[in-house]
Structure 1
Amino acid sequence: MGQTDTYYDEEAVAGPGEVGDNNKTVQYVLENTRDAVEEERQLGVREAAKIYPKAMFWSVFFSLGVIMCGYDAQLISSFYALPAFVERYGTYADGATEKTISAAWQSALGMGNPIGQIVGSLCSSWPAERWGRKKVLIACNILIIGFVFIQFFSPNLGVLCAGEILAGLMWGAFVCLAPTYASEVSPVALRGILTAFTNLAFVIGQFIGQGVCAGFVSREDQWAYKAPFALQWLWPVILLAGLPFAPESPWWLVRKGRKDDARKSLARLAWQEGEGLDKALLVIEQTNLLEEELRKTTSFFDCFRGVDLRRTEICAMVYSTQVLCGNPLMGYINYFFTQAGMDPQKAFDMGVGNTAIGFVATCLTFVSLSHFGRRSIYTTGLYLMTVLLFVVAIIDCVPNYDSHSGIMWAQGSLLDVWTFLYQLTVGPLTFVIISEDSSTKLRSRTIAVATAFQAACSIVTTVAVPYMFNPANGNMRGKIGFFFGALSLICATWAYFRIPETKGRTFEEIDIMFERRVPTRKFATYEIFEQ
């Protein structure tokens, strides 16, 4: 590799005890990394992509597990409108002439995924810090192969629900590991794009799930729902074939005192040698030095202490907003349209189209992230989505709704626009923000806490939404937009006052700004080196 000694200075990574108090540590780190930080700031997206193609590949590869998470969630909610599934597992409601999946079972099945995610996300952070991101992801893929067997062979809804809970354990781990790894292997210029890919992986999973269900909706045998379950075995096989060759996170290796391994990992992530690698390693070590001085321990309790409480609040609230802003509606879009009187095949086609729109929007995010700030994209999208939810609810109040088929299509079109805005703004930006606003030493635990909060919100909506939609209960149809519109407005107001701008900032700069308690709206213009 060459010329390690030409740039790297062993004295530049002195231990915390040699530096003194926090202010001296901050100044010490800033002086040591000023040139390297400025160079990384000047690196554009295209230049970074040329230097770090391998980092881009492995970041995307780690996110493949999230595809399974999106696929599974979409599968279960789509099955409620799948005739063969309803015929096998459904029951007759009082006075009904056709079978349906009861609201109670819809809630139970829907809760399996988020309940598992709560436990899985919280439990995965410790082994991820103990044994590394790669080994934990390998173990999760081995386990998910077994859990899919439970779903595939489930003789009743109770066993299927158990399979969903167990699979949810792995989904929680995948969702935590993917953005954590992406943020730790990518340069500043690519960090937003690669962490946002986590959301694209979700959308890809949803799109595949919608497409698979649409393809099997006309089948009347058990393979209409068993074949979609069986397809889940594809992704673990792909991941297990490639993960042994993946480089470990250099940030994790530095925290474990494995400097040589960290440098080798950096070399496997970038097309550069010598001084470039040394500067990257220096920034990682100095940022780690800073965090060791600022926080002596790294337990879950530390996520709720001092300045980290603010960072945890931001991550948890941003992630929970994915649920509170109305996204659960999209999971029930097929059921929504069938209950409104649409033919099942057309309902599934509408669902596939809606997911395809989300896919295009998420891809466009990669462009917007290069030109606009995280805060402006997130808040603007959230306010526009709030307006659309209220419009969907208002037009549902038109007298004689059932006799106006055009209203149904109008609502469908508005929900398509809502999906486009969500997948362009709130959806992908969530993973960017939680990866950047969490500290490097507490990142896996902070993201785990945020995932648990989001999953807890999902449990509440999973219980409530089926009863709101079900004709035998709330039968709210589009009026559910009033409920989610109000929640979305609260989230948008919070976001305006609490989400800072971190575009173009290194982890070192973000740590320092939070430590200095820089006001939210001054993050974008704050000059680290002039203070």
Structure 2
Amino acid sequence: MIQENEDEIREAVEIEHSLDFFDAIKLYPKAIGWSTFFSLGVIMLAFDPQLLGNLYAMPAFQRDFGYKYEDSYIISAPWQTGLSMGNPVGQVLGALAAGYPMEWFGRKKTFSVCVIGTAAIVFIQFFARSLQVLLVGELLGGLILGAYVVIAPAYASEVCPVALRGTLTSYINLCFVIGQLIANGVTAGTSQLKNHWGYSIPFALQWFWVLLIIPGIPFAPESPWWLARKGKLEEAEHSLCRLASPQVNVKSTLAMIIETDRFEHEMEAGSTYLDCFRKANLRRTEIAVGVYSIQVLSGIYLINYGTYFFTLAGLPTQKAFDMGIGFLAVGFLGTCFSWILLQHFGRRRIYNVGLMILAILQLIIGALDCIPNYRHHTSVIWAQSSLMVIWNFFYDLSIGPVCFVIICEVSATKVRGKTIALATAVQAVLGIVMTVAIPYLINPDQADLRGKLGFFFGGLAFLCLIWSHFRVPETKGRTFEELDIMFERGVNTSEFASYKI
């Protein structure tokens, strides 16, 4: 019996390494479908803060919620900060809270409750007619939305083979872009409306995703890794059968899952938040938290203020909304191109090279803002705005999608949900800091820095590049058990790619 299990495990590992991307698509089409289904929640997560950032540039919203400043209306920096902070504050609490029901009740049930909760909270945002009520809606919404970015990558990494893991986990970033792109497209279309429907319609569209998700939830398979950890081996095997084609030997896959779980139990990986900081997992937690935090430190929160930034730079309102759509459209393309890079290059190389390019672009944007009589040079304004678009392309080609791949691959299976939750919470805390700071840094009645923020984020990005060079390992093509072994043996960061087990 022991020999039979060993043969099955060996078979599963050999298949994982020999399977190429296109063969994996043929063998696991249902896993791809259900992974993208669970990622729909991330679209809602991305839609909300992007929508709010665009509303600050919408005349109807400015008139109904703001105050008169010179010849126009604006939302004060304190209220911009408060409203924009509602979502990330909620995400901190929601992400950390999600780790518990995900472990107790599974990915599927946790996802179901979150979707129903989102449907209820959209009512608050839709009927809000004061900044105070809207703030409550944003805060409560963030509590639930924060769970989606924990559930989606955990589920994606647990239902697919190694050959698809990079693509399906990086797809989370594409969902962010899709949510932001839809928010920009909707607000560009409603920005010319003179009454409250200019901002009420975008809030109402969040119900569309709820109506799309709820009918499919009863048919979704649970994560086989979670079922195996709970000792529900028959259900885990049934789930694997539902995720894979009949040609796949699910018994050998289940044997590999059981063996990985046994090994993590031996190395005392644990399954609590405290275990994320124990010796067996501390390095892995640091890497997960680091790569996710770098998204904020390199300047991603400027995307939420993209349209507003373009108006302050000097573009007409409609041109700013159009530029905002183009801004995210190239991000969509960048994420799709990243899937090609992930098949041919390691995670570490894509991440580090991309981060270096982002730092350089930010510094150039800052330098352009120092040109004398900046506002009288239309070509400079367009050049700076275009560089922001290029920056977003390289972000979504590199550190945006690859971050989610690294987070899922470096975390131990027993604490994957909680490791992702911690990384999300820390990233959201940094997001709160940026949410507080950015309105004061870019608002015309405050520091009015505009593109000079490029110096700030470019400098931070270079510091992050130094850290990632020494700490982020290569995880491409490794099974979860192989990664467990390498972290347990303390393999040096630069040796991960070539290490032989």
Residue 215 in structure 1 maps to residue 189 in structure 2: yes
Q: Hey, what does 2:239 align to over in structure 1?
A: 265
Return the letter of the residue paired with 1:434.
I
Counterpart contact for 1:390–1:482, Cα < 8 Å: yes
1:171-222, CA deviations, whole angstroms, 9 ceiling, x for partnerless residues?
A: 1100000000000000000000000111100100000000000001111011
Residue 188 in structure 1 maps to residue 178 in structure 2: no
Q: Hey, what does 2:226 align to over in structure 1?
A: 252
After superposition, the Cα gap between the structure-2 partners of 1:294 and 1:12, relative to the gap in structure 1 and judged at 3 Å, is: farther
Q: Hey, what does 2:486 align to over in structure 1?
A: 513
Residue 54 in structure 1 maps to residue 30 in structure 2: yes
After superposition, the Cα gap between the structure-2 partners of 1:120 and 1:292, relative to the gap in structure 1 and judged at 3 Å, is: same
CA-CA distance at 1:273 after TM superposition? 5.0
1:114-139, CA deviations, whole angstroms, 9 ceiling, x for partnerless residues?
A: 00000000001110110000001000
Counterpart contact for 1:114–1:455, Cα < 8 Å: yes
| Pick aligned residue for 1:309 from 282, 307, 310 | 282
Q: Hey, what does 1:237 align to over in structure 2?
A: 211
Q: Hey, what does 1:424 align to over in structure 2?
A: 397
Separation in structure 2 between the aligned mates of residue 231 and residue 375 of structure 1, nearest angstrom = 38
Percent identity over paired residues: 51
Residue 67 in structure 1 maps to residue 43 in structure 2: yes
Alignment of 1:4-23 (within 5 A): 9=1
Question: What TM-score results when the alignment is normalised by the length of structure 1?
Answer: 0.93
Return the letter of the residue paired with 1:490.
L
After superposition, the Cα gap between the structure-2 partners of 1:405 and 1:155, relative to the gap in structure 1 and judged at 3 Å, is: same
Counterpart contact for 1:267–1:273, Cα < 8 Å: no
Residue 327 in structure 1 maps to residue 303 in structure 2: no
CA-CA distance at 1:97 after TM superposition? 3.2
Return the letter of the residue paired with 1:90.
G
CA-CA distance at 1:162 after TM superposition? 1.0
Counterpart contact for 2:267–2:280, Cα < 8 Å: no
CA-CA distance at 1:411 after TM superposition? 0.5
Counterpart contact for 1:338–1:344, Cα < 8 Å: yes
Separation in structure 2 between the aligned mates of residue 44 and residue 297 of structure 1, nearest angstrom = 32
1:251-307, CA deviations, whole angstroms, 9 ceiling, x for partnerless residues?
A: 000000011110000000011257x11111111010011111112631111101103
**What SS is found at the alignment partner of 2:205?**
helix
CA-CA distance at 1:50 after TM superposition? 0.2
Residue 157 in structure 1 maps to residue 119 in structure 2: no
Q: Hey, what does 1:22 align to over in structure 2?
A: none
Return the letter of the residue paired with 1:87.
R
Counterpart contact for 2:269–2:412, Cα < 8 Å: no
**What SS is found at the alignment partner of 1:99?**
strand
Gaps of 5+ in 2: none
Separation in structure 1 between the aligned mates of residue 67 and residue 113 of structure 2, nearest angstrom = 38
Counterpart contact for 1:307–1:517, Cα < 8 Å: no
- The list of structure 1 runs, each at least 4 consecutive aligned residues, that deviate by more than 2 angstroms after superposition, is 9-13, 31-36
Separation in structure 1 between the aligned mates of residue 416 and residue 43 of structure 2, nearest angstrom = 22
**What SS is found at the alignment partner of 1:332?**
helix
Residue 40 in structure 1 maps to residue 13 in structure 2: no
| Pick aligned residue for 1:401 from 370, 374, 395 | 374
Counterpart contact for 2:269–2:275, Cα < 8 Å: no
1:415-463, CA deviations, whole angstroms, 9 ceiling, x for partnerless residues?
A: 1111110000010011101011100000000000000000000000000
Counterpart contact for 2:180–2:328, Cα < 8 Å: yes
Name the Cα RMSD after superposition. 1.3
Separation in structure 2 between the aligned mates of residue 169 and residue 230 of structure 1, nearest angstrom = 19
Separation in structure 1 between the aligned mates of residue 45 and residue 496 of structure 2, nearest angstrom = 34
**What SS is found at the alignment partner of 1:184?**
helix
Residue 489 in structure 1 maps to residue 489 in structure 2: no
Separation in structure 1 between the aligned mates of residue 196 and residue 269 of structure 2, nearest angstrom = 56
Which structure is larger by alpha-carbon Rg, 1 or 2?
1
Gaps of 5+ in 1: 1-8, 14-28
Q: Hey, what does 1:339 align to over in structure 2?
A: 312
Return the letter of the residue paired with 1:350.
M
Tell me the matched-pair count.
Answer: 501
Separation in structure 2 between the aligned mates of residue 512 and residue 128 of structure 1, nearest angstrom = 25
Separation in structure 2 between the aligned mates of residue 311 and residue 102 of structure 1, nearest angstrom = 41
Residue 90 in structure 1 maps to residue 66 in structure 2: yes
**What SS is found at the alignment partner of 1:471?**
coil
| Pick aligned residue for 1:500 from 473, 477, 483 | 473
Return the letter of the residue paired with 2:270.
T
